[in-house]
Amino acid sequence: MTLTGKMLIGQHATTGNREAIRAVNPATDTPMEPAYPGGNGEQVAKACALAWAAFDGYRETSLEVRATFLETIAAQIEALGDELIERAVAETGLPHARIQGERGRTCGQLRTFARTVRAGEWLDVRVDPAQPQRQPLPRPDLRQRHIALGPVAVFGASNFPLAFSVAGGDTASALAAGCPVVVKAHGAHPGTSELVGRAVAQAVQACGLPEGVFSLLYGSGREVGIALVTDPRIKAVGFTGSRSGGVALTQAAQARAEPIPVYAEMSSINPVYLFAAALAARGEALAQGFVASLTQGAGQFCTNPGLVIGVQGPALDRFIRTTSELLPSCAAQTMLTPGIASAYDSGVGALTEHAKVVAQGLPATGPNQGQAHVFVTQAQAFLANQHLQAEVFGAASLIVVCANNEEVRQVSEHLEGQLTATLHLDEDDLPSAKALLPVLERKAGRLLVNGWPTGVEVCDAMVHGGPFPATSDSRSTSVGTAAIQRFLRPVCYQDFPDALLPAALQHGNPLLLRRLLDGQREA
Amino acid sequence: MTLTGKMLIGQHATTGNREAIRAVNPATDTPMEPAYPGGNGEQVAKACALAWAAFDGYRETSLEVRATFLETIAAQIEALGDELIERAVAETGLPHARIQGERGRTCGQLRTFARTVRAGEWLDVRVDPAQPQRQPLPRPDLRQRHIALGPVAVFGASNFPLAFSVAGGDTASALAAGCPVVVKAHGAHPGTSELVGRAVAQAVQACGLPEGVFSLLYGSGREVGIALVTDPRIKAVGFTGSRSGGVALTQAAQARAEPIPVYAEMSSINPVYLFAAALAARGEALAQGFVASLTQGAGQFCTNPGLVIGVQGPALDRFIRTTSELLPSCAAQTMLTPGIASAYDSGVGALTEHAKVVAQGLPATGPNQGQAHVFVTQAQAFLANQHLQAEVFGAASLIVVCANNEEVRQVSEHLEGQLTATLHLDEDDLPSAKALLPVLERKAGRLLVNGWPTGVEVCDAMVHGGPFPATSDSRSTSVGTAAIQRFLRPVCYQDFPDALLPAALQHGNPLLLRRLLDGQREA
């Protein structure tokens, strides 16, 4: 398939007339063809108008039609074959195996949402039948379901060119909820985005859906993004990226005449706690696990372990020593973009000013490679210096040495919101862990025992979210089936005749949903 | 019980040192004793510190303890007896029967949330068991529950001195979710607030809960409110009041270092559609119902029918004529406060400039009485003048005469977000209603057929919410059991040993919850 450099406004391939973005192969530092001219305000408005026109029809498609659509997108992505893999590898510097795995995750995610759509629990159907005889006043018949919020703007992420980009988690959950989607592709992988965008557009056509259900835009600066978020027809935003970018979009969304929700997944350093007994029993193994998790994918995960917390003593010394022995043999890895590589270097530079270097990985041997770094500091220094908890996106981490459990608690209370917090513990650590748990529940969306935070399962129970600045809305997850709830709102129907009720609420319960009927959940 | 004019900071009755508020009996325009000096910043901070200290313990109380607490609050409110009724009547000008009914609703609401807490569905427990053999990677054990957001600031509403004030819907749902509550009493009914506040504080003590679970503050200006919303220990806000007040709180909450959700229920004019066949069949009866709903409680309901929409013709003329015959015998009624009465007069004055008066109720015969008003205008004039859809809080309504169904649609699309939309229809109107329904679903949180929007049932299926400016967050309801969801966030536990898991997630399912287990809902 020849890449065209064109946007997709509904089914129409359209060329922008603003400054072009162009992928750079980060492994070779060479720009790639074609150029992707950015969209202008009119083109953004056109995509939003199509999305708006498609909304009422799309949100009322049957559960089966919508689920089939999601499955068709997955099939169309798979049909792109190796071309997609090659392009994504070239645009991101990520290894083949990783991109292949990510394609599997992306298609699996779409099929998981298809299952969720069919199950229909997201409709949250509640029925309180009329009580005409009730005193002092009769009760009317009241029925609630959830409906889609409206067209959703999705911003592709740099670090998941498939799983959190054009047809990634935000798009899949918004489409599942019944929301048309307008994607702004991430500038780092426009070719990958075009391929996937065309796959989605083909699925729209194959399923006979209105074309406005999906559009794909490019843009080099903030123009397209701000135009999208401030378009009155856009009713919610999904974003994965930097804290500054997420905060800017949230502020733009709040400044609208009609403010809208923004789900921005932004910044997290993912504290890892090494409890005493675990550290004493297997400090070396923990160091091995840590270094592997830290350096995986050049450390370019939202859940990268950027902070390690332990109590001083020989066991923690051994962990640090083992880390300092392992890290020097870790190869520098190509980062996603020249911008990310240089931001990583700056972040490492800043940490170097404020903390002591424990160890470094092998130096870069090619362009845009990130050299792993581990630093160490004392708890009091950490508490005194807010810079030390700024996310450094890449394979950099800071070990915070605490004098005792009380300092561990102080450091924990001092942390900003996180996506994850990890506890390494043995039986004897349970009392200490239990004491710390309330703090961690307040701070993070996912808590792990004896694992590593990298690796985010797409399932019903996943929470990929957390208090600010991990996300802009701690009430939600961006990974897993509960992500659909971000794009829904409840509507109540009072005393409606069956002929006017949506199928989900009709008296005969034709969708066979387990409703909350008069306060009782149906079997 | 002697009223003291004191705030409750936890269990401590404390006198503020800022400008005092003082209730005014609106029926007689006389100030009432005692004065309620406003709190200062330190006192706000103290209440928030107590709430924070109580949070971790309170949110992990058992379902039974928390449900019993809510029931105890209800019992303590009932134990206040007639003193509460008398004081609320005097402070609000509302009739005895209304206040008695509202007490019943308030206590019923607390007991309904107790039932919801015990049922435990709000925990939304999801379990994805480990799959150690899965290829290419094993799946860890993942378990999700919802936990409380943190201390909640609640702002009492003027028009529901019991049901949406100190122990009203916001407080009940926040306490049900496991959030401590700091209430800022509405300045119009401080004595009612003190009585109810003491009932809640007694329940806190009787149930052996930490004192910070509940505090009650007074304040005459915005100082206390802004201090509350910007205190870092407050994690969510519940508010019912004006659009300007709600927007100001939302902006303050968004400007925090850690932005927090604000649930502000603000402004709605609740369009009522009169479809042709219904209008032809029973125009007079519709006019009777309309006038009754409009003038109930001096029109001081969020769901008051402030807009009536129909297609021109003899049937609509008859509706208007009947309205103009009925309204002149409707007595003027005492409004809640002098401020509300004068704002009503201004609102009526503004409508008089832009629309034609159809009829007026009887003029005021005492202080602070609102004279009912119905206006009429043409659809094109309505579309051209944004002032015509500003809420006038009180018994004022505007009839919009449309040339045809297309104009009805245009007017509907032009509307801002609403709490309710009402359809009066007969069998023959079903096609027209069906065509309009998608617009109304986008505009409002509750849709009614052949009823009147005043009267909000507290039940599972209720939605008292809607798109901006009806509320600041259309994804929620402030009335009904789903209101609990506003104060929760999901947390995922990965590979936790049973000893460290909360009861809701333990392997043995000791709370007997119907979990979403490996994608299937348990029976």
Q: pLDDT tens, B282-320?
A: 999 999 999 999 999 999 999 999 999 999 999 999 999
Mutate which: A149, A489, A520, vs B, most B CBs within 10 A: A489
Q: Does A62 touch chain B (CB under 8 A)?
A: no
Length of chain B: 523
pLDDT at position B523 over 90: no
Could you identify the residue written with the tokens 């629309």?
B355
Tell me if A492 and B462 make a contact (CB, 8 A cut-off): yes
Cα–Cα distances (Å) from A499 to A332, B273, B422, B426, B514, in that order, read 65, 18, 16, 12, 32
Cβ <8 Å between A459 and B139? yes
**CA A389, CA A379: separation in Å to the nearest integer?**
12
Q: With contact defined as beta carbons under 8 Å apart, do A478 and A238 qualify?
A: yes
Chain B: residue whose CA lies nearest to A416:
B258
Choosing from B107, B179, B302, B330, which is the catalytic residue? B302
> Going by DSSP bridges, is the β-strand pair A418-424/A271-274 parallel, antiparallel, or unpaired?
parallel
Is the CB of A512 inside 8 Å of chain B's CB atoms?
no
Percent of chain B having pLDDT more than 90? Answer: 99
Active-site residue flag, A265:
yes
Contact B254 A254 (CB under 8 A): yes
Whether the CB of A246 is below 8 Å from some CB of chain B: the reply is no
Q: Which residue of A261, A475, A490 is in closest CB contact with B477?
A: A490
> Of B416, B475, B523, which has the smallest distance from its Cβ to A261's Cβ?
B475
Q: Per DSSP, what are the bridge partners of residue B274?
A: B310, B424
pLDDT for position A1: 74
Tokens 């608690």 sit on residue: A409
Runs of H (alpha helix) within B120-242: 169-177, 190-206, 223-230
Q: Within a 10 A sphere around the Cβ of B346, how many other Cβ atoms?
A: 11
> In this structure, what token pair is assigned to residue A236?
């919610």
Report, as an integer, the average pLDDT of B74-98: 97
B114 vs A contacts (CB less than 8 Å): none
d(CA A241, CA A483): 17
Distance from CA of B3 to the nearest CA of A (A): 32
Q: In the block, which residue shows the tokens 């999700």?
A: B144
Amino acid in position B324: S
Asked if B433 is an interface residue toward chain A (Cβ–Cβ < 8 A), one would say yes
Catalytic annotation, pick one of B211, B265, B391, B416: B265
User: Tell me, what's the pLDDT at B405?
Assistant: 97
Mean pLDDT of B261-266: 98
Q: Quote the CA–CA distance of A39 and A16 in Å, as a whole number.
A: 4
Minimal Cβ distance to B463: which of A250, A463, A491: A491
With CA atoms as reference, report the closest residue to B175 among B256, B238, B233: B238
Model confidence pLDDT, tens digit, residues A1-30: 799 999 999 999 999 999 999 999 999 999
Using CA atoms, how far apart are residues B519 and A116, in angstroms rounded to an integer? 9
Q: In B, which residues are within 8 Å of A446 by CB distance?
A: 491-494
Buried b or exposed e, range B153-170, using 16+ CB within 10 angstroms: bbbbbbbbbbbbbbbbbb
Residues 383-422, chain A, touching B (beta carbon < 8 A):
416-417
d(CA A412, CA B169): 34
Instruction: Round to whole Å and give the CA distance between B81 and B10.
Output: 23
Query: B155, B171 in Cβ contact below 8 A?
Result: no
If you average pLDDT over every residue of chain B, what do you get?
97
ipTM of the complex: 0.98
Dihedral sign for Cα A100, A105, A111, A117, please.
negative
CA–CA dist B316, B309 (Å, integer)? 9
pLDDT (0 to 100) of residue B246: 96
Summarize pLDDT for A305-363 with one digit per residue, the tens.
Answer: 999 999 999 999 999 999 999 999 999 999 999 999 999 999 999 999 999 999 999 99
Residue A448: closest C-alpha in chain B: B494
The answer, yes or no, to whether residue B323 has pLDDT greater than 80, is yes
The size of the A-B interface in CB pairs under 8 A is 208
Tens of pLDDT, residues A462-474: 999 999 999 999 9
DSSP secondary-structure letter at A39? P
Alpha-carbon distance A228 to A217, whole Å?
10
Backbone φ/ψ region at A258: left (φ over 0), alpha (ψ -120 to 50), beta:
beta
pLDDT of A181 reads 98
Q: Which amino acid is at A136?
A: P
Amino acid B179: pLDDT: 98
Q: Which chain A residues touch B60 with a CB distance below 8 Å?
A: 438
Question: Which residues of chain B neighbour A475 with C-beta distances below 8 Å?
Answer: 149, 261, 488-490
Cβ-in-10-Å burial (0-12, 13-18, 19+) of B317 comes to middle
Kindly report the nearest CA distance between residue A491 and chain B, in angstroms: 5
Look at the alpha carbons of A91, A95, A96, A102 in this order and tell me if their dihedral is positive or negative: negative
* β-strand partners of B142: B128, B494
Strand-pair partners of A516 = A126, A521
User: In the structure encoding, which two tokens stand for residue B230, read together?
Assistant: 């910007």
Asked whether the CA dihedral A139, A145, A146, A148 is positive or negative, the reply is negative
Q: What is the pLDDT of residues B229-257, one digit of tens each?
A: 999 999 999 999 999 999 999 999 999 99
Amino acid of residue B61: T
Nearest to B362 by CA among B447, B298, B415, B308: B298
Q: Which residue of B has its CA nearest to A144?
A: B461
The residue type of A214 is F
Does the N-terminal peptide bond of residue B34 adopt cis geometry, omega within 30 degrees of 0? yes
State percent of chain B over pLDDT 70.
Answer: 100
Q: Where are the alpha helices (DSSP H) in A296-401?
A: 314-326, 338-354, 379-384
Q: Which two tokens stand for residue A260?
A: 């809208």
Q: What residues 155-194 of chain B have any CB closer than 8 A to a CB of chain A?
A: none
Question: Which of B161, B171, B217 has the alpha carbon at shortest distance from B6?
Answer: B217
Minimum Cα–Cα distance from B98: chain A residue: A136
B101-119: pLDDT as tens digits: 999 999 999 999 999 999 9
The CA distance from B15 to the nearest CA of chain A, in Å, is 32
- Quickly state the pLDDT bin for A221 (edges 50, 70, 90): confident
Q: What percent of chain A lies above the pLDDT cut of 90?
A: 99
DSSP state of A471: B
**Which residues in chain A touch residue B465, judged by CB atoms under 8 angstroms apart?**
489-490
Q: Can you give the pLDDT at residue B221?
A: 85
For residue A470, the chain B residue with the least C-alpha distance is B258
Q: Is B302 a catalytic residue?
A: yes
Asked if the C-beta of B507 comes within 8 angstroms of chain A's C-beta atoms, the answer is no
CB A417 within 8 A of CB A467: yes
Quote the tokens at residue B236: 């969510």
Name the band, by pLDDT with cuts 50, 70 and 90, for residue A90: very high
Please, is A427 exposed, middle or buried when counting C-beta atoms within 10 Å of its C-beta (0-12, 13-18, 19+)?
Answer: exposed
Distance CA B483, CA B473 (A): 12
- B58 to chain A: closest CA residue: A438
**Catalytic pick from A265, A391, A407, A416?**
A265
Tokens of A15: 């060329």
d(CA A149, CA B474): 9
Alpha carbon A153 to its chain's center: 14
Please report residues of A whose CB lies closer than 8 A to that of B477.
490, 492
Q: What type of residue is A36?
A: Y
Alpha helices, H only, A327-371: 338-354
Say which of B126, B437, B457 has its CB closest to residue A142: B457
Selecting from A119, A127, A258 the residue whose C-beta is nearest the C-beta of B461 gives: A127
pLDDT at A477 over 80: yes
Chain B contact for A132 (CB, 8 A cutoff): no
Predicted confidence (pLDDT) at residue B1 exceeds the cutoff of 80 = no
Q: How far is B256 from chain A (nearest CA, A)?
A: 11
A494/B449 touch (CB, cutoff 8 Å), yes or no = yes
Which of A128, A134, A492, A516 is best to mutate for the B interface (most B CBs within 10 A)?
A492
Q: Does the CB of B96 have a partner CB in chain A at under 8 Å?
A: no
- Tell me the C-alpha distance between B295 and B374, whole Å: 11
Structural domains of chain A in order of their starting residue, each with its CATH number: 38-266+475-486 (3.40.605.10), 271-449 (3.40.309.10)
Residues in chain B within 8 Å Cβ distance of A463: 144, 490-492
Closest Cα to residue A25, out of A196, A190, A195?
Answer: A190
**Which residue in A has a C-alpha nearest to residue B258's C-alpha?**
A468
- Chain A touched by B149 (CB under 8 Å): yes
A-chain residues near B463 (CB < 8 A): 144, 490-492
The predicted pLDDT at position B389 comes to 94
For B197, the 3-state DSSP assignment is: helix
Beta bridge partners of A370: A333
User: CA B442, CA B439: separation in Å to the nearest integer?
Assistant: 5
CA of A366, closest CA in chain B: separation in Å?
Answer: 30
Per the listing, tokens 């009996």 go with: B25
Name residue B357's beta-bridge partners: B375
* Average pLDDT of chain A to the nearest whole number: 97
Q: Is the pLDDT of residue A74 over 90?
A: yes
